Amino acid sequence: MQSVAAALDRLGELAASPTVAKLAAAFEASGHELALVGGPVRDAFLGRPVSDLDFTTDATPDEILAIVKPIAEAHWDIGRAFGTIGAKIAGETVEITTYRADAYDGDSRKPEVAFGSSLEDDLTRRDFTVNSLALRLPKLELVDPSGGVEDLVAGVLRTPAAPEQSFGDDPLRMLRAARFASQLGFEVEDSTRRAMDDLAPAIERISAERVRDELSKLLLTGAPRRGIRLLVESGLADLVIPEVPALRLERDEHHRHKDVYEHSIMVLEQAIDYEKSRGVLDSPDLVVRLAALMHDIGKPATRRYEPGGSVSFHHHDVVGAKLARKRLRALRFDNDTIAAVSRIIELHLRFFGYTDGAWSDSAVRRYVRDAGDQLERLHIVSRADVTTRNRRKADQLGFAYDDLEERIAVLAEEEELAAVRPELDGQQIMAILGLAPGPIVGEAYKFLLEVRLDEGPIGTDAATERLRAWWASREPAGA
């Protein structure tokens, strides 16, 4: 947290930038107010990078357009119905929104949009005091009607209005509390926290798309543990992603198993570390984080008590993949994300068989083939799934995975593993066997693919011989 003077200096430098200065001058010349608002002002106090430039004004959307058109390289009004106009000015993207005075009826999933006339009223309708800060332009006057600076100093999340009113107006703010708790490392103030417990059921008024977006932002923070815990402890997770709180399996004094909920959060944290340190994926990676958090969600449904005090979770990988697909569909995730996350969950146990004995080259090829374009993410989640406190065991698993990756690299260089396919394609198969297009061609292709996976490259001539032998061995009725 920077001092107020240091923060104002940073904001003064930002106000002097070509984009902000040009925008402020244009609004002043038009006789309208303009203020930099929310995240940029907050982050200036926190010493964090200032990225998105959000402004608010007393001008209507039509008036905003009239002001920005002469100074913008581009502009768009996709958010016009909500009072927001976007523009590109001096090379930077900005959003300018008319003061809001939204009304909620308590049942609708969306507010009835209404425009306001006062900056102070607009700020007190925002989600948290630390986001209810503004800098009037061009005179550089800090506006803080709700004590946001004090809460920034204290590291506290608090609503400007009574939390019951704020969350009743927009229940998504409860999820935003969890996200900002993780993003900023702040604690939720007591009365705000109690209101989350009491009003958690109201989250069901919110569309799946808005919930999805807020959960994604939480998972994409640098340290999502605090926010996930807040969702689970408040009861919100039971309503939006119930598979996660279900991981808190009760313990039987006669049976032993690790705390699956704590384990899953540790896997998520370790996956984030691997995601960053390996440097292969763009970080943060939502697929990695969803798969890490949800990799064991099949355990509650598959738990069995075994003789001798142990607990088993047979096939929890397959069950978990199905549950993940169902949940992510309900949250309106895109098909690619759903397919990737469920595939990683389905395969996340495969590696642990590697430590039972060295895999054949065929097994390594199949591992790569089954992972497909999710191989790097599978590497990360599989490595992160090792949370044992037994240092020797952890080292053994780490060395084993190092060995697996080395073997994959060698085979990839020798055999082009990323594009494993038979030496003969469908057209060649039909020409050799004298077949017309049909299911039998697919069967022949699958046979040759299995040969390729088992034995590696064998050449076109050998593949032709194997194909003819396979064809000759088929039952007459199937020929």
Residue type, 58: D
Sheet with 134-137, side-by-side order of all strands: 74-76, 84-89, 92-98, 53-57, 34-37, 134-137, 141-143
DSSP string, 124-163: HTSS-GGG--EEEETTTEEE-TT-HHHHHHHTEE--SS-H
Burial of 106 (0-12, 13-18, 19+ CB in 10 A): exposed
Contact 246, 315 (CB under 8 A): no
User: Which residues of the chain does CATH 3.30.460.10 include?
Assistant: 1-150
Nearest to 384, CA basis, from 227, 278, 466: 278
Whether 344 and 291 have beta carbons less than 8 Å apart is answered as yes
Beta strands in 169-266 (DSSP E): 187-188
A 10 A CB-CB count for 408 gives 18
Cα–Cα dist 228/41, whole Å = 26
Q: Is 229 in contact with 242 (CB distance < 8 Å)?
A: no
- Torsion sign, CA atoms 186, 192, 194, 200: negative
Burial class (CB in 10 A: 0-12, 13-18, 19+), 177: buried
Q: CA–CA separation, 173 vs 203, rounded Å?
A: 9
143 beta partners: 134
Q: Where in the chain is the domain with CATH 1.10.3210?
A: 251-419
Third-level CATH fold of 155-240: Hydrophobic Seed Protein (1.10.110)
CATH of domain 1-150: 3.30.460.10
CATH 1.10.110.30 domain range(s) in the chain: 155-240
Instruction: Return the sign of the alpha-carbon dihedral for residues 291, 293, 299, 305.
Output: positive
Q: What is the pTM of this model?
A: 0.83
Task: Tell the burial category of 145 from Cβ atoms under 10 Å away from its Cβ (0-12, 13-18, 19+).
Answer: middle
Ordered per-residue pLDDT tens for the chain, 479 residues: 667 788 888 889 999 999 999 999 999 999 999 999 989 999 999 988 887 899 999 999 999 999 999 999 999 988 888 889 999 999 999 999 999 876 565 555 555 667 878 999 999 999 999 999 999 999 999 999 999 999 999 999 999 999 999 999 899 999 999 999 999 999 999 999 999 999 999 999 999 999 999 999 999 999 999 999 999 999 999 999 999 999 998 554 444 556 899 999 999 999 999 999 998 888 899 999 999 999 999 999 999 888 877 888 999 999 999 999 999 999 999 999 999 999 999 999 988 877 666 788 888 888 888 898 999 999 999 999 999 888 888 888 888 889 889 888 888 776 565 556 788 888 888 898 888 888 888 888 888 888 887 787 888 888 898 888 888 888 554 44
Count CB atoms within 10 A of the CB of residue 385: 22
Q: Which amino acid is at 101?
A: A
CATH class of domain segment(s) 251-419: mainly alpha
**CB neighbour list of residue 372: distance below 8 Å, 6 or more residues apart:** 343
